[in-house]
Structure 1
Amino acid sequence: MSNIEIKNLTFGYANQGTLLFDHANLNIDETWKLGLIGRNGRGKTTLLKLLQNQLDYHGEITHRLSFNYFPQYISDDQQLAIYALQEVADVEQWQIERELNLLAVDPDILWRSFASLSGGEQTKILLALLFVDDTHFPLIDEPTNHLDINGRQQVASYLQKKRQGFIVVSHDRHFIDQISDHVMSIEKQTILLYQGNFSTYKNEKQLSDNFEREQNEKLKKDIHRLKQSASEKLKWSLSREGDKYGDPHKKGSGAIGDTGAIGARAARVMKRSKSLEHRMTNDIESKEQLLKNIEYIDPLSMNFQPTHRQTLLTVKDLQLSYDQRPLFNPVTFELKQKQRLALMGPNGAGKSSIIQFILAQFAGDMTGLIDHPQNLAISYVRQNYEDNRGTIDEFTAAHHLDREEFLNNLHKLGMERSVFNNKIETMSMGQRKKIELAKSLSQPAELYIWDEPLNYLDIFNQEQLEKLILSVTPTMLIVEHDQSFIEKVATQTVTLRKPVDETHIQV
């Protein structure tokens, strides 16, 4: 048995004003099934890179482990998936097929180009590649992104059966609950470690936050009382000091004969006032130490432009195909003003392909009909947005965005202002997702098309989006695998079914 021991770890990116880790100390047992959670930009992926010695840091990280990281980098996504995987690791085809069968994936996808696979299919074959290797310690970064509900459950069941430990980064609360026996949370000012799953963390964190709030309220009352007392004593002291020069014929007026006694008493009161002020300053400093890990969530804004058009999208008997292989059975639906339609279905069923067809970006074949008004203002959140590059000022100018609204939404999504000067391509995946989302929120649109908007977003962001959508009630077409999110925001659902499934399309 081996431990990962971290002593006085200090690290921050050179172009950021604050440290991600400041003299952090941790001890992680290699047998733990550890869920690593925290808000975007707090350093979850950075910590995995530090463990792999990919970044320079101060302090010590000691272990005797060899790591295997997910997601693996695919250098040429145009070649067949099996060849792309074999370039990453020395594996046999039968090994990958065995893991794909365990993940309930048709091994035939290995004979398609990696680029042509859906996001969920790409995730699954990269997970299969990870699971082939049982000699290295797995560092698994966001494995549920792009996975449908069944896919997430299959991965959770697989990890539950693994005897070796691992570290998993995920914002999927249900997933972390299923697979973890320890949870590590990177908070605003510290790193907290809990024995148990996400529910354990949530309960303990709620108790801690409630205690901090109660202490804060008590301290605020104490500070108010001290301020009032110090102010009163200071006023009396100053008034007595003035009496030393008052009318000498009035008894007790502070005439010349009384100046010594008055001055001494005023000095004592002044001293007590200064002592109260010093105590109050110390209490204020204590107050600043409270609430240090409580998250504050501000409401987002959305530039939705309601239109006079009643029907924004009509789909009739639509079927899309690649190489004469239909992706789904024919489907029919309508999207009307202020409705929010969720496209449902397993990975590879063609949900993103329908979006691509609407946007005139689909490269396959089509039968049926898709119709929408001309010059319809559409704002699109993409699954893949790695082409977002440059500074934020360059980005806002290139996309003709209102800079103030864009930056406000970015900040409300939890993006630290210190990150605003960074190049987008150097940001974390969560931060880059926020760039893509804030762009969509800032664009004037009649229809919002969001393809898996929750990928890489933390639970606070997910709740923000739910509240925003329910408040604004925009017209939307959404692809998302988070069942709770869909249940809250969608007004209707359309389920795509692959042609091998002979059941009827559910609308």
Structure 2
Amino acid sequence: MISINDLTFQIGSRALYDEANWHIKPGDRVGLIGANGTGKSTLLKIIVGEYAPSSGSISMAKDLKIGYLNQDLLSYESHHTILHVAMEAFERQNHLHDEIEELLKKIETDYSEETLYKLSDKQQEFEALDGYNIEYRANEILAGLGFSTADQHRPLNTFSGGWRMRVMLAKILLQTPDILLLDEPTNHMDLPSIKWLETYLGSFEGAIVIVSHDRYFLDKIVRKTVESRKGKLTVYAGNYSFYVEEKGLRGEIQKGEFKNQQAKIKQEERLIERFKAKASKAKMAQSRMKALDKMERVEDVDDDNPTVNFSFKFSKPSGRHVIKVENATKAYPNIDILENADGLIEKGDKIALIGANGKGKSTLLRMIAGAEGFAQGKIETGHNVTTTFFAQHQLESLHLENTILEELQAFAPKHSDTELRGILGCFLFTGDDVFKKIKVLSGGEKSRVALAKSLTTDSNFLILDEPTNHLDIQSVNILIQALQQYEGTFISVSHDRYFLDNVANKIWFIEEEKIKEYPGTYAEYEEWNSKRVIPTPKPIPVKPTTEEKKKPAEPAPANAQQLLKKLNEKLKRTEEEIAVFEASVKAVEADLAKEEIFSNQHKLAEANKKYLAEKALLDHAQKTWEELASEIMELEG
């Protein structure tokens, strides 16, 4: 499918890749991993032709269809609705639709045989390309990625960058490419959308290459892992967990080979030193020296998993109650976040605040931090509680002209330079790295500096909003170790399930505008949550039509059984409608085959219009049936 041969790519004097090789086969599901700066995103750009290799080659079939999602798409602008943008994926179907519309208008005055044949050919091709279902397919994928029906009719430029990225992903998925190249696809997704994407990719028939720091996501999707490291691409025949285990085994073998080789080299060097001065042994010594020079050296194993080796201390512990939320109410226009909500954070709690985007997670964190007001209720901070709030916008408050070390010195003057350098070392800033200016750092490096600052404070309560954004897997592991050693209290929002599973001892989630709590780990919460019946969310009020106003209001179902009964009744009525529409479509199809119809231009045009109208009604009824059936299955468990 794609063959990378002896690829070398240089940036200045640095070789990002040095004669690297990799073959992507049909059906491969690959996780492309490596520390930040090792060239993962660059490699994808080389594959799609955005960058040219310094030497070597990349070969692929001419007709290979590539779907490429990258972070540059965040800047894509459009005044069209997101449904329209997503449906741009159907380039041929959209073109045919416009041509059919023009021909239908033309046929009102032009009854020529040529026009009729053109219309028939276009309609046949449109149906063969499943043109009548493209809007439904776009609706389905956008809904899976978290967009409501109302959202789908909003212009793209009214959404934030993260939501725009989801629209671009929807467009790429709708193109059904032969291979998907996905660069950090989960970066701007909430947990429900990540799970939906996992399910979708699980049934995708083409090849997939994913760059991601979400190890749970990689474990779910990939069957092969390729590590980008020191200019080479190393293949491991399994998912990320397999890679970790296999790399550990390979490392142990390499350590043994390195140790044995070093012992042999020292032995040879002693022999050479001993005999080189003796004339009778000089030739033998020279021969051994040449053999030693030609020896292919085994490299020592680098430690890719540094450990956090300092303790986090604060001058005074907090009281038992850290934060108390009482009867808090918070709302934005058209969105209710909390209504008379209560919550209690106690000393030693390590809380993961989870849920879909738009449910108010970050809002609640800001309320707890005192950075966001609310309509009523109160949030009390307990005795001796000192707080640090980490959020992505704090990256902007870093002083660009400071070096990394100067930034921490100014923030934590009580720490010695040795202590600060030790902390920075744990966040992968070693040696002269600490003298880099903030302004030259990448987004991930700035996140690590901001996190290091947060963890050097004299705070016994941390509020962390998406601390794993922009971090590679190695940096996430460092943060996990740091928080496992932290003796204070914290609450964190993150979509990284591995991170949550390793740091949290309590789960908070917002449901029915209340703060709800599960007293356990994230994995335990997931198992519990999969078995429960989740309350139906409050519907967003919609202005009724004139016809709807005339109908008597139906009483709301008293319980799930009544709701189930009502849905089944609707399903039955929809099935009856489908049967009627199917009969109508067949009748029109039969008319189209009659000589008195297809030989009469006016009658044929009318019959075609009727066919399209009846087919649209049938498609809508079938879509309604699928939605009802899905809802019934969810209620039935």
Instruction: Tell whether the 8 Å contact from 2:318 to 2:385 is kept in structure 1 after alignment.
Output: no
Give the distance between the partners of 1:467 and 1:110, measured in 2 at CA: 41
Residue 193 of structure 2 aligns with an amino acid whose one-letter code is G
| 1:338-397 CA distance string (max 9 Å, x none) | 4322223333321111122234444x7543222226996543332456637785735665
Matching of residues 297-446 of structure 1 within 5 Å: 297-299=306-308, 301=310, 304-310=313-319, 311-328=321-338, 330-362=340-372, 365-372=374-381, 377-383=386-392, 387=396, 393=402, 400-401=410-411, 408-414=422-428, 428-446=442-460
Instruction: Tell whether the 8 Å contact from 2:31 to 2:225 is kept in structure 1 after alignment.
Output: yes
**2:43 paired with 1:39:** no
Instruction: Tell whether the 8 Å contact from 1:123 to 1:147 is kept in structure 2 after alignment.
Output: no
Matching of residues 272-311 of structure 1 within 5 Å: 286-287=297-298, 289-291=299-301, 295-299=304-308, 301=310, 304-310=313-319, 311=321
Give the distance between the partners of 2:515 and 2:492, measured in 1 at CA: 23
TM-score (norm 1): 0.75
Structure 1 match to 2:249? 207
Structure 1 position 159, deviation (Å): 0.6
Gaps spanning 5+ residues in structure 2: where?
90-133, 520-637
**2:5 paired with 1:7:** yes
| 1:197-221 CA distance string (max 9 Å, x none) | 3344344423322210221232344
**2:69 paired with 1:69:** yes
Residue 19 of structure 1 aligns with an amino acid whose one-letter code is A
The 3 A distance-change label for structure 1 pair 422 and 30 is farther
Instruction: Tell whether the 8 Å contact from 1:314 to 1:335 is kept in structure 2 after alignment.
Output: yes
Give the distance between the partners of 2:156 and 2:453, measured in 1 at CA: 28
The 3 A distance-change label for structure 1 pair 421 and 50 is farther
The 3 A distance-change label for structure 1 pair 145 and 375 is farther
Structure 2 match to 1:90? 88
Structure 1 position 416, deviation (Å): 7.3
The 3 A distance-change label for structure 1 pair 446 and 324 is same
Residue from 166, 170, 176 that aligns with 2:218? 176
Gaps spanning 5+ residues in structure 1: where?
239-265
Residue 5 of structure 1 aligns with an amino acid whose one-letter code is S
Residue from 99, 107, 112 that aligns with 2:149? 107
Q: Which stretch shows the higher mean deviation, 408-417 or 22-31?
A: 408-417
Structure 2 match to 1:52? 48
Instruction: Tell whether the 8 Å contact from 2:350 to 2:491 is kept in structure 1 after alignment.
Output: yes
Structure 1 position 156, deviation (Å): 1.0
Structure 1 position 186, deviation (Å): 0.8
Instruction: State the secondary structure of the residue aligned to 1:379.
Output: strand
**2:214 paired with 1:166:** no
Structure 1 position 53, deviation (Å): 3.3
Residue 8 of structure 1 aligns with an amino acid whose one-letter code is D
Give the distance between the partners of 1:147 and 1:68, measured in 2 at CA: 17
Identity, in percent, stands at 23
Instruction: State the secondary structure of the residue aligned to 2:448.
Output: helix
Which fold has the larger relative contact order, with Cα–Cα distance below 8 Å and residues 6 or more apart in sequence?
Answer: 1
Instruction: Tell whether the 8 Å contact from 1:327 to 1:350 is kept in structure 2 after alignment.
Output: yes
Residue 355 of structure 1 aligns with an amino acid whose one-letter code is L
Residue 25 of structure 1 aligns with an amino acid whose one-letter code is N
The 3 A distance-change label for structure 1 pair 339 and 194 is closer
The 3 A distance-change label for structure 1 pair 168 and 429 is farther
Instruction: Tell whether the 8 Å contact from 2:404 to 2:436 is kept in structure 1 after alignment.
Output: no
Give the distance between the partners of 2:48 and 2:326, measured in 1 at CA: 51
The 3 A distance-change label for structure 1 pair 441 and 11 is farther
Instruction: Tell whether the 8 Å contact from 2:404 to 2:437 is kept in structure 1 after alignment.
Output: no
Instruction: Tell whether the 8 Å contact from 1:118 to 1:347 is kept in structure 2 after alignment.
Output: no
Structure 1 match to 2:99? none
The 3 A distance-change label for structure 1 pair 88 and 384 is farther
Instruction: Tell whether the 8 Å contact from 2:2 to 2:58 is kept in structure 1 after alignment.
Output: yes
The 3 A distance-change label for structure 1 pair 455 and 205 is same
Residue 350 of structure 2 aligns with an amino acid whose one-letter code is R
The 3 A distance-change label for structure 1 pair 408 and 6 is farther
**2:513 paired with 1:471:** no
**2:181 paired with 1:134:** no
Instruction: Tell whether the 8 Å contact from 2:347 to 2:489 is kept in structure 1 after alignment.
Output: yes
Instruction: State the secondary structure of the residue aligned to 1:171.
Output: coil
Give the distance between the partners of 1:150 and 1:468, measured in 2 at CA: 27
Instruction: State the secondary structure of the residue aligned to 1:206.
Output: helix
The 3 A distance-change label for structure 1 pair 219 and 39 is same
Give the distance between the partners of 1:369 and 1:76, measured in 2 at CA: 41
Structure 1 match to 2:468? 454
The 3 A distance-change label for structure 1 pair 478 and 358 is same
Q: Which stretch shows the higher mean deviation, 333-342 or 18-27?
A: 333-342
Instruction: State the secondary structure of the residue aligned to 1:460.
Output: helix
The 3 A distance-change label for structure 1 pair 71 and 49 is same
Q: Which stretch shows the higher mean deviation, 177-186 or 99-108?
A: 99-108
Residue 494 of structure 1 aligns with an amino acid whose one-letter code is W
Instruction: State the secondary structure of the residue aligned to 1:347.
Output: coil
Residue from 13, 20, 23 that aligns with 1:24? 20
Instruction: State the secondary structure of the residue aligned to 2:49.
Output: coil
Residue 247 of structure 2 aligns with an amino acid whose one-letter code is K
Give the distance between the partners of 1:423 and 1:323, measured in 2 at CA: 42
The 3 A distance-change label for structure 1 pair 389 and 113 is farther
Q: Which stretch shows the higher mean deviation, 310-319 or 298-307?
A: 298-307
Give the distance between the partners of 2:401 and 2:309, measured in 1 at CA: 19
| 1:87-136 CA distance string (max 9 Å, x none) | 79836976642212344653334467879979986664443233233247
Computing the radius of gyration from Cα coordinates, the structure with the larger value is 2
Residue 41 of structure 1 aligns with an amino acid whose one-letter code is G
Structure 1 position 427, deviation (Å): 5.2
How many residues were matched structurally? Answer: 465
| 1:33-90 CA distance string (max 9 Å, x none) | 322111222111121222333345402334434543244534489x99x747867983
Residue 449 of structure 2 aligns with an amino acid whose one-letter code is I
| 1:275-321 CA distance string (max 9 Å, x none) | 667766666x714x3426x6251425465424243143222233432
Give the distance between the partners of 2:433 and 2:47, measured in 1 at CA: 23
Instruction: Tell whether the 8 Å contact from 1:406 to 1:439 is kept in structure 2 after alignment.
Output: no
TM-score (norm 2): 0.61
